[in-house]
Structure 1
Amino acid sequence: MRLDKFLKVSRIIKRRSVAKEIADQGRITVNGRAAKSSSNVALGDQLIIKFGNKTETIKINKIIETTKKDEAEQMYEILDESYKEDFRKGVN
């Protein structure tokens, strides 16, 4: 399945066009390699997605062409979630 479609179907990203834009900006890696929106993903792949100040590491557990909301959560597992610290904190 294409990366952008997986992100939309799994509801990690709400719109496929947004998933495509993020991937094509180089903010997503699949198994340690930069991925384009057209990259194929498979069962067991590990994705690292950078959303502004948040970075999520996700493992693909299931690939389904169409899902309902409760099924979407079963498609992946969040392995790590980290936030960049706001550089303005601590500055008076």
Structure 2
Amino acid sequence: MKRILLFLATNIAVVMVLSIVMSILGVDRILDAQGGGLNMANLLVFAVLFGFGGSFISLAMSKWTAKKLMGAEVITTPRSASEISLGVETADA
């Protein structure tokens, strides 16, 4: 639950920072002056959808990719003394 809240908070913070930076730089006024007709709120919603989507895809792929690239195995049942000691060491962390 904590990971999900941190994930959401990070993504929302990034969007808020982008919104503030665009507001300070006057991007909306520049677009209005050029007749762009682009609504900044809609653009931020679009950015949120793509940002969250991309980060979910990246998160879903990361564990699988790391295991394949490193040749790692998940130890469900320890088969040797070294696997048991590794489980004991990592259980405390």
TM range (shorter): under 0.3
Which has more helix, going by share of residues?
A: 2
TM-score by length of 1: 0.23
Which has more strand, going by share of residues?
A: 1
Higher relative contact order (CA 8 A, sep 6+): 1
Q: Which has the larger radius of gyration?
A: 2
